[in-house]
Amino acid sequence: MPDTVAFIGLGAMGAPMASSLIGAGFALRAFNRHPERAMPLVERGATACASIADAVRGARFVVSIVSDDDATRAVMLGDAGVVASAGPGAVIVDSSTNTPSMAREVAQAAAARGLAYLDAPVTGSVPQATHRELVFMAGGDAAAFAAARSLFEGMGRMALHVGASGAGATLKLVNNMLSGTMTAALAEAVSVAQAAGVDAQAAQAILVEGPAGSRLMRSKLPKMLAREFSTQFQLALMDKDLRYFLALA
């Protein structure tokens, strides 16, 4: 029998991550506040659940990816939330971008009920989630991380255990601070180059080879030069992440 995974949160990242787990052979139960988001997964064999409690009851693993600390507190610590409803021995993988203090609070509550909680956010956005190229940074119990290895492999290309509870959340905020500031700096650079009349293709070829050349530049620079604004990551979420980073710092 395949391991059962309860997946909470089917947004821009959660939906392709959940789809990857189906492709990896897990039995998936899905919950989302807007039930229609689960329908594409149901067509591939997942079970849509009417509540978090229904989704997590008896599941070997629980994966959650929601917007912020408030959403995580509701999902994890609500009266019928994950911690109250999951069976003993379940491993909770929280890929939300939360504060380290939130991660430690949930980890403590989970441990009191015989559950393992990993704060395991990701690098990458929708394209990486879709193509199983995410990188996970996990804080929490090393044995729980080892137990969840097949889960991480089903959704991404790399997973590292980075320390105790809260370490994954900390590293994710550092990562997103760099992402946010580099994107803003790149936008300034592009604006100056365009205002000066520099050839766009030449600018792209040179800047990618320079000291700031990176995956972020390779993905964002062509979109900026083309003034192509399709969403990969909401500005509201980046604003939240940078506020969390400033509080951490």
Residue type, 186: L
Q: What is the separation of C-alpha 239 from the centre of its chain, rounded to a whole number of angstroms?
A: 16
- Cβ neighbours, 10 Å, residue 234: 12
Q: Distance between CA 242 and CA 224 in Å, rounded?
A: 21
- Determine the residue type at 144: A
SS3 82: helix
DSSP 8-state assignment for residue 3: P
Rounded to 5 degrees, what are φ and ψ at 122?
A: -130, 155
Q: What is the DSSP track for 129-177?
A: HHTT-EEEEEES-HHHHHHTHHHHHHHEEEEEEEESTTHHHHHHHHHHH
Of 172, 220, 223, 240, catalytic: 172
- Which segments of the chain are extended strands (E)? 4-8, 27-31, 47-48, 61-64, 91-94, 116-119, 122-123, 134-139, 156-163
Instruction: Give the span between the Cα atoms of 148 and 21, in whole angstroms.
Output: 12
* 172 assigned to active site: yes
The DSSP bridge pattern shows strands 91-94 and 61-64 to be parallel
Q: Confirm if 20 and 132 have CB atoms less than 8 A apart.
A: yes
Active centre residues (catalytic)? 172
